[in-house]
Structure 1
Amino acid sequence: MKNIVSILVFLIIFSSCSIENASPEYKTSDENISGKWKLVQASGGIAGNIIEYGENDDRFIIEFRDNEFISTKNGEEIEKSKYHITLGESIRSTEEVPLIIYETGKKQSFEFQEGNLILFDECYDCYQYEYIRI
């Protein structure tokens, strides 16, 4: 009887434990990144350039849908690639961050700030891009 009670207590404790898994974060990030985005600012480079495009400038649009990335400039498609999202090492952080890995081999880390999408090129003296959802 004592063994049965011990086993039941062990099962109750064990079943209440959970293992943290990064998968929901990937899915959440992927769901949030889906859609069309308009470039409003690019900054970086060795000179620390800042280029403002503004909310009324429709020159640069990107779209993430169904694991496909599409980039347009002035309405013309300039890039199309499959992508996936994962956690990985970044030049910006000692901790793993969400990364977009494109089939072309390009890699960008990303985050959301006040609903805007911020993409970071994963190379030194490269650019960061701020997009608003459209």
Structure 2
Amino acid sequence: MKKLIIFIVALSLIACRSTKTKLSISKNELAGTWQWISKTGGFAGKTIQASQTGNHIILKISSTLFEKYENGKRIFAQPYNVLKDKSIRATDSIPMLVFKSGEKQSFEVVNDSLLIYDECFDCYQNIYIKK
């Protein structure tokens, strides 16, 4: 009976472990300055171009800090990690930006483009180009 209890406890611990794992994507791939081009999403799936808004949004990403500037004013700055985690967009774990606050965004780097996805339904996908 004692062995059965130990087995059940061990199995429970294994089943409850975190799905977050370190990712092979280097933070160097994200490092740099990125200019916002457009966003798509929302309830209507609308695409909004940066040129339509008059807003100039820049991301400055280092190996430790993620900063967002809107029209020259810093509106967001937090340490971050890159992890592979569950997403509402996929059944498998995918690359995520995980901020110190606990907020998560999934992302993809495709050539000179950075696609960042808000992790909520009817939210936006933002596209940035590396400067």
Say if 2:75 is the partner of 1:78.
Answer: yes
- The aligned counterpart of 1:12 is none
- The aligned counterpart of 1:90 is 87
Q: Measure, in 1, the Cα distance between the counterparts of 2:78 and 2:23.
A: 24
1:37 to 34, 37, 40: 34
- Aligned-partner residue type, residue 97 of structure 2: I
Written as runs of structure 1 = structure 2, the 5 A alignment for 1:22-33 is 23=22, 25-27=24-26, 30-33=27-30
* Runs of 4+, deviation exceeding 4 Å: none
1:113 to 110, 116, 120: 110
Q: Measure, in 2, the Cα distance between the counterparts of 1:107 and 1:79.
A: 14
- Aligned-partner residue type, residue 106 of structure 2: S
Cα-to-partner distance string for 1:57-115 (whole Å, 9 max, x where unaligned): 77100111131011101111111111101001011111111100011221100012232
Structure 1 unmatched runs, 5+: 1-21
Say if 2:40 is the partner of 1:46.
Answer: no
Identity of matched residues, %: 31
- The aligned counterpart of 1:3 is none
Structure 2 unmatched runs, 5+: 1-20
Q: CA deviation at 1:23?
A: 5.0
Q: CA deviation at 1:31?
A: 1.4
- Aligned-partner residue type, residue 24 of structure 2: E
Aligned length: 109
3-state SS in 2 of match to 1:32: helix
Written as runs of structure 1 = structure 2, the 5 A alignment for 1:53-68 is 53=50, 59-68=56-65
